[in-house]
């Protein structure tokens, strides 16, 4: 299980092997805990690479989640093809400094 330390600014990256990233028109990276989406970022928030999309979480965002959560990406290309990643379970672990610095 992956871990994210609360209060840090990690980058979450999705790499595409068969999808041309330049053809992605919509993308939503969500973090869900206990059935509720607590963080959602769209394509405008992403860094777009040649073969990947990545999002950097803020300190406040990682402080807003604790325990186990699921991260998932939904995307759509310019021809209407929609795809989704598998859920990835991540544990948000305590930080000795539980505040934005």
Contact (Cβ atoms closer than 8 angstroms) between residue 59 and residue 7: yes
Model confidence pLDDT, tens digit, residues 6-18: 999 999 999 999 9
Q: Along the chain (101 residues), what's the average pLDDT of each consecutive run of 10 residues?
A: 96 97 98 97 98 98 98 98 98 97 97
User: End-to-end alpha-carbon separation of the chain, Å?
Assistant: 27
Contact (Cβ atoms closer than 8 angstroms) between residue 11 and residue 54: yes
Task: For each of the domains in the chain, give its residue range(s) and CATH number, in order of start.
Answer: 2-93 (2.60.40.10)
Contact (Cβ atoms closer than 8 angstroms) between residue 58 and residue 45: no
């Amino acid at each position: 299980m992956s871990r994210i330390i609360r209060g840090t600014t990690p980058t979450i990256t999705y790499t595409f092997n068969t999808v041309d990233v330049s053809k992605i028109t919509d993308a939503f990276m969500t973090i869900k805990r206990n059935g509720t989406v607590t963080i959602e970022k769209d394509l405008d928030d992403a860094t777009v690479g040649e073969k990947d999309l990545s999002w950097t979480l803020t300190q406040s965002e990682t402080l807003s989640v604790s325990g186990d959560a699921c991260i998932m990406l939904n995307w759509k290309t310019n021809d209407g093809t929609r795809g989704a990643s598998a859920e990835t379970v991540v544990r948000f672990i305590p930080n000795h400094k539980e505040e934005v610095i």
